[in-house]
Amino acid sequence: MFKFKYKGAELIVAFVLSLGMIWPAYATSDAKAVDKAPVKTKGSSVDVFDIATEQDKKSTADHSKFKELQVDFKDGPAVTKACLACHTEASKQLHKTKHWNWDYINADTKQHLGKKNVINNFCTSVPSNYKFCTACHIGYGWEDENFDFTAEEKVDCLVCHDTTASYKKLPGLAGHPNYKTMEWPPHSGKFRAPTDLKRIAQNVGKTSRATCGACHFRGGGGDAVKHGDLDSTLTNPSRYLDVHMDAKGLDFSCAKCHTSDSHEVAGSRYQPTAVDDKGTFIRGSKDERNAATCVACHGNVPHDGEYEKMNSHTDKLACQTCHIPAYARGNKHTKMSWDWSTLGEMDENGKPKKIFGSEGKVLYDSKKGDFTYDRYVIPEYQWFNGEVEFTLADTKFDPSQVLKINSFKGNADDGKSRIWPTKVFRGKQMYDKGNNTLVVTSLSDDKETALWKNFDINKAVEYGMKYAGRDFSGQVGWIETEMSWPITHMVAPKEDVVACHQCHTENGRLAGIDGIYMPGANNTPLLDKLGFALALLTLIGVLIHGAIRYFMHKRGG
């Protein structure tokens, strides 16, 4: 047997071997330290809202006792007439709003926007598809361009004021709910009973997350599809998902931030408020600015105690950048891309097909092409000063480049921009190859030209363009597009904000954002060289000093 030359060597070898056995155990049990997110320790300005929600639910009127509402209504407009008997000015107010007109002129850019005018990279355009799209219009009967926007009885009161959660406007009915038993979803074998208008009318109340969410959670044609930070999980959210809407906590309705005046609701995707540096303001005051900003309640110096340093970030970062670490956090997958160019592929029997992904979402639909999805999505960050420039129906573009459906303006130097978290939705969609413009496409019309009936994109675009009164070259091409959406909901608890190291590191979250210097993320080559040179000189000095002392000692000794 091998014998060790030195006494005690066996012991050392045994020690080394045992060390080798136990170090992995130490390594695996010693989990890497988790960076603690900043926790605000002192009182917060939001405490005042603790009392608000229960008060919101109380009303001085019991609508079930009103004789005007004790009627078997034949349709929605009949309910509205009953509402107007008391709320005489309601429809006149609503007729002036974006929710009614789907029409908006940006006073700064002069662009003519609004849902009925803009072409996006989801279902693309409203004209020629009214009956489907207007399931999310606050009116009844908008089925073509001849809709009467002055008719008071066509305003749909119930879609915003229902408290029964049973009112549902179905696509294809031009903004009406079903008044007869109807198979829904189509070909599903499931049937939806006629809408009980009487019961719903007798139970109207203030708007809620459910009523706003009926449309806004389902933007883009389905739950969680469009925005990323708005989906049905916010109907009854936990604290982790949104500290303001937490159903067991502050329980904010949408209207708590999106205040309204004469039915015009604060906040806009067309003209967002990217920077609010005016501090808090009292609700009900004559302040004309957007009430739906963080600063409107929290002020512009919101951090205190040991996190006061965070206040020095607010001249560069939007609040949302730190306080919304990811979107689609409610376990719903949001759509991330849509490629229309692959539509029309049929199954082996020549029938339209759908292919589902691992999470159960449709990855391919013969009617629509390919999709991708994601959840808990890290936002893409960009400078934003509130100005959004849209590619409109008549805007000419270079088809060799990725087309921005909307461009967020802003930069580090303009003094009015902040770095914002955004969802960038990517698509490949049809365009007029001859004119280099976006196109109106007939998707869901009753006519045989509709894409979802005949799967012929050329006919669908030709009809859509003719319907919209637009010039069409006759050639359909495919263009890659991007559309940005500011992320502003799903505000995380303070413990879960974006931690310092997630940005202050190489290739951190803000990598690629120009015009900022971030310790840990950026370096200055000259400064680095100077530092290394100083360190090297110090080392050389120490060595020389040590050497001199050593030789002097030898000589002296």
Q: Which residues are at the interface with another protein (CB under 8 A)?
A: 6, 8-9, 12, 15-16, 19-21, 23-24, 26-28, 238-241, 325-326, 329, 331, 355-360, 363, 373-378, 492-493, 495-496, 502, 507, 509
Is 289:297 a contact under the CB 8 Å cutoff? no
| Least distance (Å) between residue 376 CB and another protein | 5
| Least distance (Å) between residue 540 CB and another protein | 26
With CA atoms as reference, report the closest residue to 254 among 221, 207, 188, 293.
207
Q: Which residue has the tokens 């706003």?
A: 212
| Least distance (Å) between residue 236 CB and another protein | 13
Q: First-to-last CA distance in the chain?
A: 50
**Between 243 and 388, whose beta carbon lies closer to another protein?**
243
**Between 222 and 399, whose beta carbon lies closer to another protein?**
222
Residue 27 DSSP class? H
User: How remote is the C-alpha of 490 from its chain's centroid?
Assistant: 9
| Least distance (Å) between residue 450 CB and another protein | 29
With CA atoms as reference, report the closest residue to 392 among 382, 407, 374, 372.
407
Question: Hey, how many other C-beta atoms are within 10 angstroms of the C-beta on 31?
Answer: 7
Q: Is the dihedral of CA 424, 429, 435, 441 positive or negative?
A: negative
| Least distance (Å) between residue 517 CB and another protein | 21
| Least distance (Å) between residue 325 CB and another protein | 7
**Between 18 and 524, whose beta carbon lies closer to another protein?**
18
With 0-12 CB in 10 A as exposed, 13-18 as middle and 19+ as buried, what is 476? Answer: buried
Contacts of 313 by beta carbon, 8 Å cutoff, 6+ apart: 322
**Between 78 and 513, whose beta carbon lies closer to another protein?**
513
| Least distance (Å) between residue 4 CB and another protein | 11
How far is residue 484's CA from residue 305's CA, in Å, rounded to a whole number?
Answer: 35
**Between 420 and 472, whose beta carbon lies closer to another protein?**
420
| Least distance (Å) between residue 37 CB and another protein | 10
Is 260:99 a contact under the CB 8 Å cutoff? no
Partner residues linked to 371 by β-bridges: 338
| Least distance (Å) between residue 330 CB and another protein | 9
Phi and psi, residue 91, nearest 5°: -65, -35
Residue 119 DSSP class? -
The length of the chain, given as a count of residues:
557
**Between 237 and 272, whose beta carbon lies closer to another protein?**
237
Q: Is the dihedral of CA 221, 222, 227, 231 positive or negative?
A: positive
**Between 50 and 359, whose beta carbon lies closer to another protein?**
359
Partner residues linked to 483 by β-bridges: 425
Is 355:343 a contact under the CB 8 Å cutoff? no
**Between 19 and 544, whose beta carbon lies closer to another protein?**
19
**Between 266 and 362, whose beta carbon lies closer to another protein?**
362
**Between 17 and 301, whose beta carbon lies closer to another protein?**
17
CA-only gyration radius of the chain, Å: 30
Is 189:141 a contact under the CB 8 Å cutoff? no
| Least distance (Å) between residue 10 CB and another protein | 12
Segment (H or E) for 369: strand 369-374
Q: Which is it for strands 362-365 and 264-265: parallel, antiparallel or unpaired?
A: unpaired
Strands (E), 135-263: 182-183, 191-192, 260-261
**Between 8 and 556, whose beta carbon lies closer to another protein?**
8
**Between 46 and 392, whose beta carbon lies closer to another protein?**
46
| Least distance (Å) between residue 172 CB and another protein | 30
| Least distance (Å) between residue 12 CB and another protein | 6
How far is residue 367's CA from residue 295's CA, in Å, rounded to a whole number?
Answer: 44
